[in-house]
Every structure is written in structure tokens, then in C-alpha cells.
Amino acid sequence: MRTRYKIIIISAIIVASIPGIVIFGAVPLMIVTNAYSGFIMSLISNETFEEDFARIPEVKLFIEKYPNYTTNHSADFLGWKVIYYEAIENEKILHLYVKKSVLHQGVKISAGCSNLGTYNYAYNILDEQVMDYIKNDKCVGK
């Protein structure tokens, strides 16, 4: 058999095996990862997560600046613990949305504000600009 045909046959076998790799490799890995992270989250109290999140500089500043904040806890797919911080000041609702992976400890942060009563974001920013937003009270009007 010529080398050219061998390369074509090997390439076809590799391409044909990709769905099997995804189904029998990635999908079970996602299921196991989700179960493991869910187990970890079930063992850890919300207060422990709040203490951990309070060490994040943006969260620390938000808590110091708005001491009457409230929180809401949830979990996201594949092991992200989510805490939603909210404070009301000067007819504005200030939001801080923090996600932290219980598996690899990665953090994602977004913030924003809305007018009291409408709850639509008037201003929404992501990770690297959150600290400036909290420091400078950039919440805009309507």
C-alpha cells in the first residue's frame, strides 16, 4: 500500500474518532468535575465563602464603602461559587457580581448600577475596571 493512502486512512480514522473522544472523554470529565465541585460547595458554608471573597480587593473595597450591602449566593455550572453583592445609595442600586472557581480558584468580577426601581443595568463593567469603578463612583444616571 502506498504511503499516500496510509496517510489518508490514518487521517480518516483520527477524524472519525473525534466524536468518541468528546463523548467518552470530555463529557464524563465535565460530569465528574461538576459533581466534585458541587460536593465541595455543599461542605463549605456561605459564611466561609463570604470570608474568602472578602479578601478579594474589589470586594473588600465594596464592603468598606457600602457597609449596608446585602448578598445573594448561588453556584454556577462546573464549580463556580457566585456571590452577588448589592448596595443602595442615592437612588442607585450598586451591584458587584463575583464568581470564584472552587477547583482552580480563578476569579471573575463584574459590577454595575441601576436606577432604583428599574433594575436594568445602566452601567456594566468587567474585571480590570471594577476597582476604578468602585473607587470613583462612576454610576451614571438614566
Residue in 26, 14, 29, 75 with CA at minimum distance from that of residue 49: 75
The mean pLDDT of 61-71, rounded to a whole number, is 92
The mean pLDDT of 3-13, rounded to a whole number, is 71
Quick one: pLDDT at residue 141?
47
Buried b (16+ CB within 10 A) or exposed e, 48-75: ebeebbeebebbeebbeebeebeeeeeb
Spell out the SS3 assignment of 78-135: CCEEEEEEEEEECCEEEEEEEEEECCCCCEEEEEEEEECCCCCCCEEEEHHHHHHHHH
82: left (phi over 0), alpha (psi -120 to 50) or beta: beta
pTM for this one? 0.70
The mean pLDDT of 64-75, rounded to a whole number, is 90
What are the phi and psi torsion angles at 67 (to 5°)? -65, -15
What are the phi and psi torsion angles at 12 (to 5°)? -65, -40
Q: What are the respective helix, strand and coil percentages of the chain, to the nearest 5? A: 50, 30, 25
Higher pLDDT, 142 or 135: 135
Give the pLDDT band (50/70/90) at residue 21: low
122 exposure class (CB count in 10 Å sphere: 0-12, 13-18, 19+): middle
